[in-house]
Amino acid sequence: MSTVHFYEARGLIVGWRTDGNQRRYHRSVLRRIAIIRVALLAGVPLATIRDALVDLPHDRVPTKDDWVRFAKAWKEMLEQRIVSLTQLRDQITSCIGCGCLSLEECPLRNPGDELGRNGPGPRRLGARRWS
């Protein structure tokens, strides 16, 4: 599936079909795709991007004011992600990476070794994607 088709299937962009069954898009779709790509590169989840674009008409190019609105909405989430990634970078050598997350030294995902009190073994492995 192409990226354009993927975005269309998820409601991020809108197109139409010609009588010859060719897909067509308004010129504004190029800017929407650029916004989607930049946001994804910044780590903004696709669902969050979709929520931001939901009120933006599909037949006009997003403006600088639109981008400022998106950026403000995503700033706190990105700041939290930066803090989390910085902690992970600085403390990754103290984690054995097995998925159990019950190390006493793991303040990132198991402060105070809360999971260790429930016994040995993985408690979160596969239960939830790392955010």
- CATH code of the domain covering residue 34: 1.10.1660.10
Kindly give the residue spans of alpha helices, DSSP state H, lying in the chain: 3-9, 28-41, 46-53, 64-91
- Is 124 a domain residue? no
- Is 71 a domain residue? yes
Between CA 43 and CA 105 the distance in angstroms is 27
- Is 77 a domain residue? yes
**Number of domains within the chain:** 1
Which phi and psi (to 5°) does residue 15 adopt? -135, -175
- Is 14 a domain residue? yes
Buried b (16+ CB within 10 A) or exposed e, 71-107: eeebeeeeeeeeeeeeeeeeeeeebeeeebbbbeebe
- Is 73 a domain residue? yes
Query: Whole-prediction pTM value?
Result: 0.61
In the block, which residue shows the tokens 């409601």? 11
What is the extent of the structural domain holding 26? 3-93
- Is 43 a domain residue? yes
Identify the band that residue 112 occupies on the pLDDT scale cut at 50, 70 and 90. low
pLDDT of residue 130: 45
Give 89-105 pLDDT, tens digit per residue.
Answer: 877 766 655 555 555 55
